[in-house]
A = this chain, B = another copy of it.
């Protein structure tokens, strides 16, 4: 299999898992007041669900969520993508975007962890973006450009990516990957 197909398969499978999570539970009871940001709670929800939904999966194995209380953990989910005796480690970073706000440029991880990951022989850091809106009692996952979930690899991030003084990669939440 070509590398390109292989990578596309990973992305497609990740999208599918998270789409299923959203499909089974399209709203959460996490309250969102206007202008409030609840990324932390949404991420924890998706992390746990991801692990649950990949307990038995055609491609993903050994998924773990970011450990409780580890507020500086380098991944939200770690999982392995397995195909034809090849086993690829993935670090997933969820981004939860409130589409009622004007714009967003989330911190996207320290660049240092890219090195950590590569030194351990792996490569793939993946962002998974989800979109939401507050309602009276909590929040709904919603579509952006007709999709609920957008996954892409750090290696494909837009060239407008930059490093902030806090040593975080940063890229606009609506910027297309390459």
Contact = CB atoms under 8 A, between A and B. Distances in A.
B162 A34 contact: no
Contact of A165 (B30, B67, B71, B117): B117
A24 interface: no
Nearest to A74: B167
Interface residues of A, number: 42
A116 B69 contact: no
How many copies of this protein are present in the complex?
Answer: 3
Nearest to A91: B165
A73 to B, nearest CB: 8
Interface in A75-114: 75, 78, 89, 91, 101, 112-113
Interface stretch (A37-45, A50-58, A147-155): A37-45
A121 to B, nearest CB: 7
Interface in A152-176: 162-167, 176
11 contacts: A33-B41, A34-B68, A36-B44, A38-B40, A64-B178, A67-B115, A69-B167, A72-B116, A113-B167, A116-B165, A119-B162
Given A36-B41, A166-B166, 10 more contacts: A33-B41, A34-B69, A35-B68, A37-B71, A38-B40, A67-B115, A67-B178, A69-B167, A72-B116, A91-B165
